Amino acid sequence: MELSLGEMLMIVLVIVVLFGPDKIPEIARGLGQGVRKMRGAMEDIKTDIMKETDNPVSDIKREIDRIRSEASEFNPLAELKKDITDDSSPRGLIDEPKPVSLIDDETHEGPVSR
């Protein structure tokens, strides 16, 4: 809402006529105090809202940080390598291939050509 200079002068003239020149300083002080109280109340409300919304957000942030740290520590490949290289781990999970001797195999006919 924009007021031109003429509109503002008209408002001031109406106020002077209605209340008189002696009451204008009192009215201005009262308006100033009212504006200050409104600003203070708005700051209090804003502070309360920020406090209320900060608690759940900070809880969520802490939970995300905890999960990130646990995820960074989790390395399934390291555990798998440890199990493979560890002598106490059970063998026989993977059968090692046995070499086949073709000389001892009597059923072997050799390469077939057509």
**Residue 36: predicted pLDDT:** 96
What pLDDT band is residue 90 in, cutting at 50, 70 and 90? low
Max CA distance (Å), the chain: 129
Q: Which of 13-22, 23-32, 78-87 has the lowest mean pLDDT?
A: 78-87
Q: Which of 2-6, 45-49, 96-100 has the lowest mean pLDDT?
A: 96-100
Distance in angstroms (rounded) separating the CA atoms of residues 66 and 27: 58
Checking if the pLDDT of 63 tops 50, the result is yes
**Backbone φ and ψ of 91, nearest 5°:** -90, 170
pLDDT (tens digit per residue) in 65-76: 999 888 888 777
Higher pLDDT, 51 or 25: 25
Mean pLDDT of the chain: 79
Question: Measuring CA to CA, which residue among 35, 37, 55, 34 is closest to residue 45?
Answer: 37
pLDDT above 70 covers a percentage of the chain that reads: 72
